[in-house]
Structure 1
Amino acid sequence: MSHYSCLFAMLLLVAVAVSAAPHEDITKEHAAEAAQECKTETGASDEDVQHMLHHEPTESHEGKCLRACVMKKFEIMDDAGKLSKEHALELIKAISKNDAEKEAAGADIVEKCEAVEVPEDHCDAAAAYESCFVEHMKEHGLSLSDL
């Protein structure tokens, strides 16, 4: 469990409680805790959790729903299944660890991913956002593993 997912998922991805500033709670430990909570809520498997925490894509619908649940707990995705620009930027800021150049790339990454056409199904949307974030973060030398 050395990686965060979640888009983002993701991707990362997973929180214990939503606070006024959920980005402040984004750590690998909180991600793992949130993944366990979401596992129960979504019917995801232990394998789905591991895929998410290691930023590996999943084909299972439950695995995608796990990502959506985590993203919603961190308020990276809103209840309508859309990307929250503000919280996504905060995620990039947390990952950049005060590297001004990488932090500045956050606006570009979020803008590109916010513009992605995503399915209405929140689970599939979360997977699409995660994929977008991972792709564009790599271009700027960032990784969800840097949390």
Structure 2
Amino acid sequence: MANKIISLIALLLIANSFQSMASPFRYGSEEVLDLCRKEVPVTNAELEELTFIDVNLSENAKCFMSCVMKKFKLIDESGAINVEAALSASESILGKGSEALEALGGIISTCNANRSGDNTCDEIVELVRCVQFSMLTDESLRAFM
């Protein structure tokens, strides 16, 4: 169950699953999920919502995603995506030094620059959706969606 939840959250960020990565995020995933579930009670149905890019997420689903991303250091204290952590997590899928990895870094930077600066659950979801939609329009990344 923990790997499935992590996969759903990762889909929102980098359009792939932590399960398929050799990443530092695997260690401690159960603990992070347990901590976030204590902070933000979330149902399995709400977790399923996280797989859809255009669904209206419940407040709990948004805040759960935000909690997990923050605990994995994918979101920094200001609410921006941690570019270095996201690219590091994506490297094994996109390829070190690849055009796709470079494109993802640019997309994340652009989405970070366009955010309002509020460190809220809503804004973090909008930030992730910005990355997702931008990945869909980039040829080097579309295949990974």
Is 1:134 aligned to residue 132 of structure 2? yes
Larger fraction in helix: 2
Q: 1:3 to 1:79 in 2, by over 3 A?
A: closer
Task: Supply the AA of the counterpart residue of 1:51.
Answer: E
**Aligned partners of 1:71 and 1:129: how far apart in 2?**
12
The alignment's TM-score, normalised by the length of structure 2, stands at: 0.69
Which residue, out of 4, 7, 13, partners 1:10? 13
User: What is residue 99 of structure 2 aligned with on the other side?
Assistant: 101
How far 1:135 sits from its partner (Å)? 0.8
The more displaced of 65-74 and 1-10 is 1-10
- Aligned partners of 2:104 and 2:141 also within 8 Å: no
Aligned length: 136
Is 1:25 aligned to residue 28 of structure 2? no
How far 1:25 sits from its partner (Å)? 2.5
Q: Could you give the per-residue CA deviations for residues 77-125 of structure 1, whole angstroms, max 9, x where no partner exists?
A: 1133232222233234244144712112122111211112236252112
SS state at 1:142 partner: helix
- Aligned partners of 1:11 and 1:129 also within 8 Å: no
Q: Could you give the per-residue CA deviations for residues 47-103 of structure 1, whole angstroms, max 9, x where no partner exists?
A: 122222x24444311111011011102211113323222223323424414471211
The more displaced of 119-128 and 61-70 is 119-128
Unpaired segments ≥5 residues, structure 2: none
Task: Supply the AA of the counterpart residue of 1:66.
Answer: F
Larger fraction in strand: 1
Which residue, out of 37, 59, 70, partners 1:61? 59
* Larger Rg belongs to: 2
Moved over 6 A (4+): 11-15, 29-33
Task: Supply the AA of the counterpart residue of 2:23.
Answer: E
Q: Which has the higher contact order (CA 8 A, sep 6+)?
A: 1
Task: Supply the AA of the counterpart residue of 1:84.
Answer: N
CA RMSD of the aligned region, Å? 3.7
Unpaired segments ≥5 residues, structure 1: 16-22
Sequence identity, in percent? 21
The alignment's TM-score, normalised by the length of structure 1, stands at: 0.68
The more displaced of 132-141 and 85-94 is 85-94
Q: 1:130 to 1:38 in 2, by over 3 A?
A: same
